[in-house]
Amino acid sequence: MRFGKIGHIGIVVGDIEAARERYSALTGIDKWYELVYDAPPEIYYRGKRVNSAVTLYFGGRGHTALELIHTEGDDNIYTEFLKRHGEMIHHAEYNVKNLSLAVEQAEKCGLKVLQHAEFKSAGMTVKYAYVGQSEDSAVFELIETTLPIGIKKGDVPFETRLAALTGNYRRVK
């Protein structure tokens, strides 16, 4: 299994509204979308379940997408990253059709799961894992999305705008 194209670049931020304005001015992104959860995600950090709220904004131009990440609650991969590094790029994301197989491949390359979660959004089941040698190394987010009819999504061009039509995202700007 090889990963396809990068789906987005994730940036951990302290103030998501200020970051949205700043990155809009910098990149020219004029449309941002917030991920809508059906229920709070089940997040596991360092092997333990944590109670954290995560707000995600997505914006892009063409095939380049940015994800702004803001979190509150228990410590997790984002809070620890923000404490150590401040606001900056946290990960590169890849959509995969089989998360277990993708994690297995990453582990064969010397990476380990740093955080993983599962949640539902607009009836879709989303599972992700952050993999890297450590939290201070290159980190990759692997995401498996299963549509309500059981089909694994993989890469979809202009995903954010399409998902706004299904209720998976809501427009914030």
In sequence order, what DSSP letters do the residues of 49-116 get, joined into one string? EE-EEEEEEEEEETTEEEEEEEEEES--HHHHHHHHH-SEEEEEEEE-S-HHHHHHHHHHTT-EEEEE
What are the percentages of helix, strand and coil residues in the chain, rounded to 5? 25, 45, 35
Provide CATH code, domain 8-171.
3.10.180.10
Indicate the pLDDT class of residue 19, thresholds 50, 70 and 90. very high
Stronger pLDDT, 156 or 128, i.e. the higher one: 128
Indicate the pLDDT class of residue 165, thresholds 50, 70 and 90. low
Helix, coil or strand: residue 10: strand
pLDDT of 163 reads: 58
Which residue do the tokens 């923000």 mark?
82
pLDDT of 2 reads: 75
pLDDT of 63 reads: 75
Residue type at 45? Y
pLDDT of 147 reads: 85
Q: What does the block give as tokens for 130?
A: 């952050």
For residue range 26-72, list pLDDT tens digits in order: 999 999 999 999 999 999 999 999 999 999 999 997 777 999 999 99
C-alpha triplet 45, 47, 49: angle, nearest 5°:
60
Domain ranges within the chain, ordered by starting residue:
8-171
pTM score of the predicted model = 0.88
Indicate if the pLDDT at residue 155 is higher than 70.
no
The helix (H) or strand (E) run that includes residue 13 is none
What strands lie across the sheet with 169-171, from one edge to the other? Answer: 48-50, 42-45, 112-121, 124-132, 140-146, 88-95, 8-12, 64-73, 52-61, 32-35, 169-171
Within 10 Å of residue 65's Cβ, how many Cβ atoms? Answer: 20
CB 134 within 8 A of CB 46: no
